[in-house]
Amino acid sequence: MVKTPKAATTKTETATASAEAGVSRAKLSQFYSIVDDARAMAKTVMRSKNSQNAQLARSYDANLKTLRDSIRGVNSDKEADRLIKQATLTRSYVEFLAKQTK
Protein backbone atom coordinates (compact mmCIF):
# COMPACT_ATOMS: atom_id res chain seq x y z
CA MET A 1 0.00 0.00 0.00
CA VAL A 2 1.43 3.34 -1.08
CA LYS A 3 1.01 6.28 1.25
CA THR A 4 0.01 9.57 -0.34
CA PRO A 5 1.24 12.84 1.01
CA LYS A 6 -1.17 14.47 3.43
CA ALA A 7 -1.45 17.65 1.33
CA ALA A 8 -2.53 15.67 -1.74
CA THR A 9 -5.19 13.79 0.21
CA THR A 10 -6.57 17.00 1.71
CA LYS A 11 -6.66 18.65 -1.71
CA THR A 12 -8.60 15.72 -3.17
CA GLU A 13 -11.05 15.67 -0.28
CA THR A 14 -11.61 19.43 -0.61
CA ALA A 15 -12.26 19.15 -4.36
CA THR A 16 -14.75 16.33 -3.79
CA ALA A 17 -16.59 18.26 -1.07
CA SER A 18 -16.77 21.36 -3.30
CA ALA A 19 -18.20 19.37 -6.19
CA GLU A 20 -20.86 17.83 -3.97
CA ALA A 21 -21.81 21.18 -2.45
CA GLY A 22 -21.96 23.06 -5.77
CA VAL A 23 -25.04 24.42 -7.46
CA SER A 24 -26.23 22.52 -10.51
CA ARG A 25 -26.24 24.24 -13.87
CA ALA A 26 -29.95 23.49 -14.22
CA LYS A 27 -30.73 25.44 -11.03
CA LEU A 28 -28.60 28.38 -12.19
CA SER A 29 -30.25 28.35 -15.60
CA GLN A 30 -33.71 28.26 -14.02
CA PHE A 31 -32.84 31.13 -11.69
CA TYR A 32 -31.36 33.36 -14.40
CA SER A 33 -34.34 32.70 -16.68
CA ILE A 34 -36.81 33.75 -13.99
CA VAL A 35 -34.86 36.87 -13.05
CA ASP A 36 -34.26 37.98 -16.64
CA ASP A 37 -37.91 37.49 -17.55
CA ALA A 38 -39.11 39.42 -14.48
CA ARG A 39 -36.64 42.28 -15.02
CA ALA A 40 -37.78 42.64 -18.64
CA MET A 41 -41.41 42.88 -17.50
CA ALA A 42 -40.45 45.35 -14.77
CA LYS A 43 -38.72 47.60 -17.31
CA THR A 44 -41.88 47.58 -19.43
CA VAL A 45 -43.98 48.59 -16.42
CA MET A 46 -41.47 51.33 -15.53
CA ARG A 47 -42.10 52.88 -18.94
CA SER A 48 -45.86 52.90 -18.40
CA LYS A 49 -47.91 55.99 -17.65
CA ASN A 50 -48.98 54.68 -14.25
CA SER A 51 -46.45 56.30 -11.92
CA GLN A 52 -47.45 54.24 -8.88
CA ASN A 53 -46.95 50.96 -10.72
CA ALA A 54 -43.71 52.28 -12.24
CA GLN A 55 -42.37 53.00 -8.75
CA LEU A 56 -43.31 49.52 -7.56
CA ALA A 57 -41.67 48.03 -10.64
CA ARG A 58 -38.46 49.94 -9.85
CA SER A 59 -38.51 48.49 -6.37
CA TYR A 60 -39.07 44.96 -7.67
CA ASP A 61 -36.34 45.45 -10.27
CA ALA A 62 -33.89 46.46 -7.52
CA ASN A 63 -34.91 43.38 -5.55
CA LEU A 64 -34.31 41.15 -8.58
CA LYS A 65 -30.93 42.76 -9.16
CA THR A 66 -29.99 41.99 -5.54
CA LEU A 67 -31.16 38.39 -5.94
CA ARG A 68 -29.06 38.06 -9.09
CA ASP A 69 -26.02 39.28 -7.17
CA SER A 70 -26.83 36.91 -4.30
CA ILE A 71 -26.73 33.79 -6.46
CA ARG A 72 -22.95 34.21 -6.77
CA GLY A 73 -22.50 33.34 -3.09
CA VAL A 74 -24.69 30.24 -3.16
CA ASN A 75 -22.97 26.91 -2.58
CA SER A 76 -25.79 24.38 -2.71
CA ASP A 77 -28.96 23.53 -4.59
CA LYS A 78 -30.93 24.09 -1.40
CA GLU A 79 -29.74 27.70 -1.18
CA ALA A 80 -30.41 28.13 -4.90
CA ASP A 81 -33.96 26.82 -4.40
CA ARG A 82 -34.54 29.50 -1.77
CA LEU A 83 -33.45 32.24 -4.19
CA ILE A 84 -35.50 30.68 -7.00
CA LYS A 85 -38.56 30.81 -4.77
CA GLN A 86 -37.95 34.50 -3.98
CA ALA A 87 -37.38 35.32 -7.64
CA THR A 88 -40.54 33.48 -8.66
CA LEU A 89 -42.59 35.37 -6.09
CA THR A 90 -41.17 38.70 -7.21
CA ARG A 91 -41.86 37.79 -10.83
CA SER A 92 -45.50 37.11 -9.97
CA TYR A 93 -45.78 40.60 -8.42
CA VAL A 94 -44.28 42.13 -11.57
CA GLU A 95 -46.66 40.08 -13.75
CA PHE A 96 -49.58 41.52 -11.80
CA LEU A 97 -48.30 45.05 -12.43
CA ALA A 98 -47.75 44.27 -16.11
CA LYS A 99 -51.35 43.04 -16.48
CA GLN A 100 -52.62 46.29 -14.95
CA THR A 101 -50.73 48.42 -17.46
CA LYS A 102 -52.28 46.70 -20.50
Asked whether 50 and 101 are in contact (CB, 8 A), the reply is yes
Predicted TM-score (pTM) above 0.85: no
Q: What is the pLDDT along the chain (102 residues), one digit of tens a residue?
A: 555 555 554 444 433 343 445 899 999 999 999 999 999 999 999 999 999 999 999 999 999 999 999 999 999 999 999 999 999 999 999 999 999 987
The CA distance from 71 to 93, in Å, is 20
Asked whether 90 and 63 are in contact (CB, 8 A), the reply is yes
The CA distance from 79 to 71, in Å, is 9
Give pLDDT, residue 4: 54
Q: In terms of DSSP H, where are the helices of the chain?
A: 6-21, 25-46, 51-70, 77-101
Give pLDDT, residue 101: 84
51 phi-psi bin (left φ>0, alpha ψ -120 to 50, beta other): alpha
Give pLDDT, residue 102: 75
